[in-house]
Structures are given as C-alpha cells and as structure tokens.
Amino acid sequence: MPKTGLTSEEIKEKALQITEEKIRYYGFDKFRLTDIAKELKVSHAALYNHFPDKAALLDAISERWLARMDNTLELITQQERSPRRLIIEWFLKYHELKKEKVLKDPELYKSFNMAAELLKPFIVQHLHNVNEQLVALVQKAIAAGEIRGEPENVAVLLLEATTSFHHPRMVLDHKDEQREMLLQKVVEVLLDGFQ
C-alpha cells in the first residue's frame, strides 16, 4: 500500500477518528480493523503495530474521551470561587459529560461501559484522577470554613452517595431523565451534613 506521509502519532489519531465515525455509522459490533487500515491506506500489519486488536482500538477511544473529561473537570478545580459551589458544579459537569456521551454516542458508550465493567487500567486511572480532583476541592472547602471533615473521607462519601449520577451503567439507565436538579440537591444536602 502507498505510504501515507503520516507520523506514527498521526496514524494513531486518524485511526481513532475513523473508528469513531465507523462505529457511529455501522454500530459497535460491525466495524473491522481491516476497514480502518483500508481507509488509512496502510497495511493491516501497520495498523496492528499501533492497535493489536479491535479491543485495543476501542480502549484507546475510551481512554482519549476520559482524558478529555478529566481535563474539563480539572479546569473546575482551578477556579477561584466558593469551593462549595465548585464541588456542586464539578458533580453537575461530571454527570453532564457522561450523559452527553450516552445520548450523542450510544455505540461508543457501549465500548466505554464494557471497559468500565472490566476495570481496565485507564478506567482505574480515571477513577484515581476523579478522586484526586474531588479531594482537592474538599480541601479548599475545609480551608474556607465551608465544610468540616477528613478530605479523603468526605470525597469518598460524596462519590459513593452520587453513584447513580456518574456510574456508566446507571447513567445509561437514566439517560432520558432530567436529573440535574436532583443531583444538585443531593450534593447540597451532603455538604450541609459536613458543616
């Protein structure tokens, strides 16, 4: 096959973009690596050098999405406003990003959901990042005198109590519901309990 003129990183990125389009059009179960290689104008072997199988390609798509989510949530933690308010906004954004993916990319979300159920390493990293961000916000809220408690314990309780708003399976189950006001109330009540 002719050379693409793309770097290794560009081939990976283009493969991810093409795969997302194929999954959106044909569905999660019907795309093939051979189709991706053909569209990239590379050999199957060249694509396999980057993604040894279909699962690796799907994982890379989910990992990239989670990295974007982590970055979006991180921006909230860096704002200079009431930490209590930022905690609420952080949860609302976390819920919004998951729900948006379910509604706009249901086939891609299936892949993510499978990876989450298997607790793949990039899922574990995402959960670690989320926990670290929330602990940082809780520490700021404690320092501002808005809440009291041990930051790690408060973060765990907040995450556990709001699981139905961010757990992949539960977001999917409630995708057609408007639950933002309920989430806000739940987080506010929990934060009131830490005063």
pLDDT 10s digits, 6-24: 788 888 899 999 988 888 8
Answer yes or no: is 1 within a domain: no
pLDDT for the residue numbered 1 = 37
Q: Does 78 have pLDDT greater than 90?
A: yes
Answer yes or no: is 99 within a domain: yes
Question: Domain limits at 34?
Answer: 8-52
Answer yes or no: is 3 within a domain: no
Q: Please check whether residues 42 and 119 belong to one and the same domain.
A: no
6 sits in the region (left: phi over 0; alpha: psi -120 to 50; else beta) called beta
pLDDT for the residue numbered 88 = 98
How many other CB atoms are found less than 10 A from the CB of residue 194?
Answer: 17
- Mean local confidence (pLDDT), 62-79: 96
Answer yes or no: is 2 within a domain: no
Range 187-193 contact pairs with CB under 8 angstroms and sequence separation of 24 or more: 187/87, 187/88, 187/91, 187/158, 187/162, 188/88, 190/157, 190/158, 190/161, 190/162, 191/84, 191/87, 191/88, 191/141, 191/146, 191/147
Q: Please check whether residues 106 and 148 belong to one and the same domain.
A: yes
pLDDT for the residue numbered 152 = 97
How many independent structural domains does the chain possess?
A: 2
Q: Please check whether residues 86 and 169 belong to one and the same domain.
A: yes
d(CA 154, CA 123): 22
pLDDT digit string (tens) for 157-191? Answer: 999 999 999 998 899 899 999 999 999 999 999 99
Q: What is the CATH number of the domain that holds 141?
A: 1.10.357.10
What pTM was computed for the model? 0.88
Q: Please check whether residues 160 and 79 belong to one and the same domain.
A: yes
pLDDT digit string (tens) for 97-126? Answer: 999 999 988 888 888 888 888 899 999 999
